[in-house]
Amino acid sequence: MDLSIVVPVFNEQENLEPLIDEIHAALDGQLDYEIIYVNDGSTDETLSVLQTLRARDDRLRVLSHAISCGQSTAVRTGVKAARAPWIATLDGDGQNDPADIPSLYALVRQENRDPDLCMIAGWRRKRQDSRLKKFSSRLANGVRARVLKDDTPDTGCGLKLFTREIFLELPYFDHMHRFLPALVLRAGKKVQSVEVNHRPRNRGVSKYGVHNRLWTGIVDMLGVLWLQRRGKRPEITEL
């Protein structure tokens, strides 16, 4: 298997089938892949809809948290269950475009790829969000970039491609998904940002705003800074 697509969802019943159909349209005939949806304790009909879709889709796997544990934990649940060496993540709201996945995967399959390149981070240069949401994201990205120096313009983009191996080596904590590029760099690997398509949300309600984009991330950011300063990367020689 080439690729595992991991999609964490919380109360996204209206977006499930359209996004899954788009994933198939983008990848069928190009890659051997699986789709892993992680229901993070949804309180709407998300789980029942996923069960119905699973019954007729051999590529779809469904994992479910009994109670909501947050996006980072949902992503980790999916990655741990994944069968492929490469993982692509998507937000479940349909704003990420699955059609971008093949081009991202092509970058890591190049013969001359730097072996240390372990993550391709999506960059929503032309975001389709409200002014408030775009402002809060720019503010959070600017603060994070100054403090962590992760050289990534958009860590909040849900579309990322990375190796399962490197992800499972990273320190795990709630909200870690916001800091994946910094954590990958801390592990001595490389990250490349690539511009991707971003679309308006057509169904459902956003779960994120100014408060949980900036203020609740400050403590986490300082924790990542602490990890950066305490990290050691030994040079290993096998005799």
| Sequential DSSP letters for 70-83 | -HHHHHHHHHHH--
Q: Which residues is 65 bridged to in the sheet? A: 40
Query: In terms of DSSP H, where are the helices of 35-118?
Result: 46-55, 71-81, 101-108
Which residues does 104 contact at the CB level (< 8 Å), separation at least 6? 88, 120, 122, 159, 161, 194, 196
**Could you give the CA distance from residue 105 to residue 4 in angstroms, rounded to a whole number?**
11
pLDDT per position in the chain (239 positions), as tens?
999 999 999 999 999 999 999 999 999 999 999 999 999 999 999 999 999 999 999 999 999 999 999 999 999 999 999 999 999 999 999 999 999 999 999 999 998 999 999 999 999 877 766 666 666 666 666 666 677 778 788 888 999 999 999 999 999 998 889 899 999 999 999 999 999 999 888 776 766 444 555 556 777 777 778 787 887 777 778 88
- Can you give the pTM of this predicted structure? 0.87
